[in-house]
Amino acid sequence: MNYLVTGSSSGIGESVARKLVENGHSVVLFARRADLLDTLTESLNATYDTVRAVAVAGDVGQWADCVRAVDAGFEIFGRLDGLVNAAGDWVDDPLAEAAVADIQRFIQTDVVGATLITRAILPVLKAHKAGRIVHINGLQAFIRQRPPVLYAAVESAVRGLCESLRWEAAEYGVHVGCITLGSVANTEADHPEPSILMTDGRRKCLSRSEVARAVLFMLSQPDGVNVDEIILTPLGQKF
């Protein structure tokens, strides 16, 4: 299978891309940081006789970049079988103090970007009457009674996109799923030392590799079987 993975220059997106290639799939790596994408592409292709990864530098919040990433999948691999959207930004400031530019960037990446990259790949999957779309989302889509307000607003929007699109896309054979995450050690290695994931003897963070396994599980279901949502949290997380 051939998948487009956004946010794949680092963090969860990078881990997902590595996991997919390790399991025999090919990937279009789509993110803003071209230097990191090129390094990852070289790493993923190094041990294979054929191209398993191709890098496309761009921004999910820009329509032309999204189209270019989808087109690259066709040019290199001949078809695309799905999307894993792991691109994301973050604004931790209270709404009354957040800079307008930061708010706009956050929404542009997480909400507009999720919508645009989905719109770009949907006609491709619809033409095949098959495929899967997976959006990585945050727990704040459920727990809206606590700050940060912007995170709750953005993650709620992405969850709404997935829930509604699932019904529309099912009419033409496309599967849509959402993976909702608790705390993740996003800047650590795929398989960090166990102590890094613990606080006071309790598991407080997921590893990136654990998230990648959940994505692979969702993508690996038989045609016609949709995993609507996976909620993945560390046992010791208190919110």
User: pLDDT tens digits, residue range 24-81?
Assistant: 999 999 999 999 999 999 999 998 888 899 999 999 999 999 999 999 999 999 999 9
105 three-class SS: helix
Q: What is the pLDDT of residue 145?
A: 62
* Matching residue, tokens 């803003």: 32
**Contact between 57 and 33 (Cβ < 8 Å):** yes
Residue 84's pLDDT band, with cuts at 50, 70 and 90, is very high
pTM of the complete model: 0.94
Lowest-pLDDT range, 101-110, 187-196, 223-232?
Answer: 187-196
Helix-then-strand count for the chain, H and E: 7, 9
> Could you tell me the CATH superfamily of domain 2-232?
NAD(P)-binding Rossmann-like Domain (3.40.50.720)
Q: What is the pLDDT of residue 221?
A: 97
Task: Show the CA angle centred on residue 201, arms to residues 197 and 207, nearest 5°.
Answer: 15
- CA-to-CA separations, 56 to 34, 65, 137, 179, 238, in angstroms, rounded: 8, 9, 23, 24, 38
Tokens in use for 96? 């009354």
Higher per-residue confidence, 239 vs 113 = 113
